[in-house]
Amino acid sequence: EASQPLAAKPEAVTNQKTTAIPPRATPLMRQRDVMEMERSGELKFQTITNDGNDETMVSLITLKNIFAKQLPKMPKEYIVRLVLDRNHYSLVCICDGDIVGGICYRPHFSQGFAEIAFCAVTASRQVKGFGTRMMNQLKQTVKDDGIEYFLTYADNYAIGYFKKQGFQRQVTMKRERWVGFIKDYDGGTLMECPISEHVDYTDLPRLIDTQRKAILDHIRATSQAHVVHSSLTQLHEFPVDEHGDVRGSEVSITSAEDIPGLAEVGCRLPRYAYTWDGEASTLVHVMETVLKELLAHQDAWPFLSSVDVSEAPDYYDVIKAPVDLAMIQRRISLGTYRTLRQFAADVRQMCKNCRTYNGEDNIYFDCALNVEATFDALAKRATETST
């Protein structure tokens, strides 16, 4: 059983407008776009190492320049030494014939893991899925060499990227398997990524689609969440008055059985008990008692009826959810309010509208403050308890 005073948690007011936000490409959408570029031949990946070939050397120097530009805090001499080291390999990302990024890594074949040294993409290709695609290509490539884990030292700027690629701070490999094989870095965070032999990393979107379908099929088989029922307006009448307010007392919904699908999932419509000054009461009695006090308040005169546009021509351009005491009284009579929270929300919206339109330091602002303060005091005398 839950109990709360009338003053607590007023429900949201209707007619609030929201600004449409354009959809953003999800990581999965970006991966599909990059895969399409791969299928068309626009994008390619190649694993190279310093084999003494002139063409390979040009590619390694190009990749070295990308690392140096995108990783400005890394000493350039150190980048050159590792990229050209014959124990290191580099996966290069080639788009329209140009190298646009890559990953330099050192495989420790005898230990079954590889250390990621550098990973970067040119600025124009970032946040387009290239970095993720490179890492997935590398995971698939090294599996053929018996590599089961990646290790890397990530600085604070790279931790987020590596987390998205499946890296974690906890190293699960046995310590003797990797200690002494990789260099420690001050200020870096050691991260590990296990590589599964059962996952095709080059086709993750298909794998995710398969998993999603399996989950949805299971949900469909064990629940009724997929069933779409007729709308309430097709099953019930919702009569309104000349002001557009629903005549709540004439709506025939009284239990969960009146709403298709609700009873089947074990839900029920909430029912409430009310008190006023500690004595049992009813919803209508509490609201009428509070409203009577508000109508008699010496500062309630601005709220007795709707705002006259001849006195405030732009009022309804500024205030999109107008409320006044006459409207509240009419809604009580119609049975529009089903909870005290709905009633409280309208009273508070009325006072908020007044402050919003008139600003501070004027009689209307003071009236709104005084009426709302009186309402707060009255609200403490009422409770709404779910039964």
The string of pLDDT tens digits covering residues 93-110 is 999 899 999 999 999 999
Do residues 357 and 315 lie in contact, with contact meaning Cβ atoms separated by under 8 Å? yes
pLDDT of residue 131: 87
Q: Which of 12-21, 41-50, 240-249 has the highest mean pLDDT?
A: 41-50
* Active-site amino acid positions: 115
Q: What is the mean pLDDT of residues 18-47?
A: 77
pLDDT at site 23: 55
Residues 273-295: what's their mean pLDDT?
Answer: 96
Residue 10: which pLDDT band, with cuts at 50, 70 and 90?
very low
The answer to whether 192 touches 173, Cβ cutoff 8 Å, is yes
Helices (H), the chain: 27-39, 54-70, 76-84, 130-143, 159-164, 175-178, 204-222, 232-235, 283-295, 315-318, 325-334, 340-358, 363-379
Share of the chain above pLDDT 90, in %: 60
Cα dihedral angle (58, 75, 137, 86), rounded to 10 degrees?
A: 60
pLDDT value of position 172: 92
Average pLDDT of span 330-358: 94
Lowest average pLDDT, out of 18-32, 68-82, 128-142, 299-313, goes to: 18-32
Q: Which residue has the higher pLDDT, 79 or 238?
A: 79
Highest mean pLDDT of the ranges 7-16, 235-244, 256-265, 314-323: 314-323
pLDDT exceeds cutoff 60 at 374? yes
Residue 332, both tokens? 């009580």
Mean residue pLDDT across the chain: 88
pLDDT band at residue 268 under the 50/70/90 scheme: confident
- Specify the pLDDT at position 1: 41
Residue 90 has pLDDT above 80, yes or no: yes
Predicted pLDDT of residue 24 = 62
Helices 283-295 + 340-358 axis angle, to 10: 30
Averaged pLDDT, 221-233? 83
- The confidence score (pLDDT) of residue 15 equals 43
